[in-house]
Amino acid sequence: MTARIIDGNALSARVRGEIAERAAALTARGVQPCLAVILVGGDPASAVYVRNKVAGCEKAGIRSLRFDYPQDASQQEVMARLAELNADPSVHGILVQLPLPAHLDETAVLEAIDIRKDVDGFHAENVGLLSQNREGFVPCTPNGVMKMLETAEVPVQGAEAVVIGRSNIVGKPMAMLLTNAGATVTVCHSKTRDLAFHTRRADIVVAAIGKPRFVTGDMIKPGATVIDVGINRLDSGPDAGKLCGDVDFASAVEVAGAITPVPGGVGPMTITMLLENTVVSAERAARDAGK
Ligand code: NAP
């Protein structure tokens, strides 16, 4: 069997088209969606992410504001900027690019964002709302995965789902979303005794580990859906320099029923869901203002 490929680029392009229409409709009503992005320090990967987020906004008709701080920026400076952005009604989304330099208190920074503008969904209150299946903001990567499952018409209700990884950014919210959607969810991590025992009985496997080609075809149940969140750059071997996921695509594609590639799978959906959250925030603000 060769798995059906779930194409993140195609889905992302379609969803971004819909987002641009919603942004245009809001702008016509006098509420142009606006995302503010804060970058502290010169980490090259973070700079690329921020550039892509700002470019994504521009293409979708979302206004973006970018605030760059040096590596030695103080907690006070960042907090003062957040207070200003929280108070500005023309700003609908606030994103602080992670990781922050070690001298800054990441938790305090994330908790300082107004939860109505927390489009990354990392504030503890939004995490709580997600766990109670209530309206808030859902972290972008797992939200994108849910959209991929829905579009690919993968049955989630009643499915056995295994999430590998328990980070706050991917694994935990992923498990929560799948639980809310009616799956029976097992969360695996580095202390899990027999990972393959769990993955082999899963209808849906989501890999968010950060280890290249870690999940191999023999760990997959025939016909299962495999979602590969991992983004790893290979530093040796014949594919040195190339990107790969946490799943060994070559062996998994022969066993799975559907699979996401890397690149071109979950990756493009993450920024798309950030843009969607920003538009959702602006729509809520317009609704509250009676516009
Ligand atoms: P993370 O915070 O490092 O978490 C990795 C998780 O994998 C941890 O829970 C860890 O377990 C678990 N793990 C590590 N080794 C394992 C093993 N041998 N067996 C089972 N579980 C193991 O990483 P993350 O931020 O969640 O990101 C995961 C991957 O997704 C990375 O490759 C990252 O680049 C990628 N990512 C992609 C996107 C995207 O847009 N597509 C977005 C975010 C992240 P412990 O908790 O026990 O340590």
Q: How far is CA 100 from CA 81, 249, 252, 287, in A?
A: 15, 32, 35, 34
Q: At 234, which CATH number? A: 3.40.50.720
Residue 24 placed within a domain? no
pLDDT tens digits along 78-132? 999 999 999 999 999 999 999 999 999 999 999 999 999 999 999 999 999 999 9
Residue 279 placed within a domain? no
Q: How far is CA 186 from CA 35, 105, 132, 198, 203, in A?
A: 35, 31, 18, 8, 11
* Domain extent for 42: 30-114
Distance of CA 165 from the midpoint of ligand 1 (Å): 5
Residue 126 placed within a domain? no
Mean pLDDT over 233-249 rounds to 95
Shared domain check, 171 and 105: no
Shared domain check, 151 and 106: no
Residue 21 placed within a domain? no
pLDDT tens digits along 173-186? 999 999 999 999 99
Is a pLDDT exceeding 90 seen at residue 156? yes
Shared domain check, 197 and 93: no
Shared domain check, 231 and 171: yes
What is the predicted pLDDT for the residue at 148? 98
Q: At 82, which CATH number? A: 3.40.50.10860
Residue 23 placed within a domain? no
| C-alpha span between 84 and 261 (Å, rounded) | 41
Is a pLDDT exceeding 90 seen at residue 291? no
Shared domain check, 157 and 44: no
pTM metric for this prediction: 0.97
Torsion angle defined by CA atoms of residues 15, 21, 22 and 28, in that order, rounded to the nearest 10 degrees: 170
Q: Which of 242, 241, 238, 259 is nearest to 250 (CA)?
A: 259
Residues acting as catalytic residues = 53, 97, 120
What is the predicted pLDDT for the residue at 197? 98
Residue 124 placed within a domain? no
Residues in contact with ligand 1 (CB, 6 Å cut-off): 141, 164-167, 169-171, 188-192, 195, 208-211, 229-232, 266-267, 270
Shared domain check, 175 and 248: yes
Shared domain check, 169 and 99: no
Is a pLDDT exceeding 80 seen at residue 1? no
Distance of CA 167 from the midpoint of ligand 1 (Å): 6
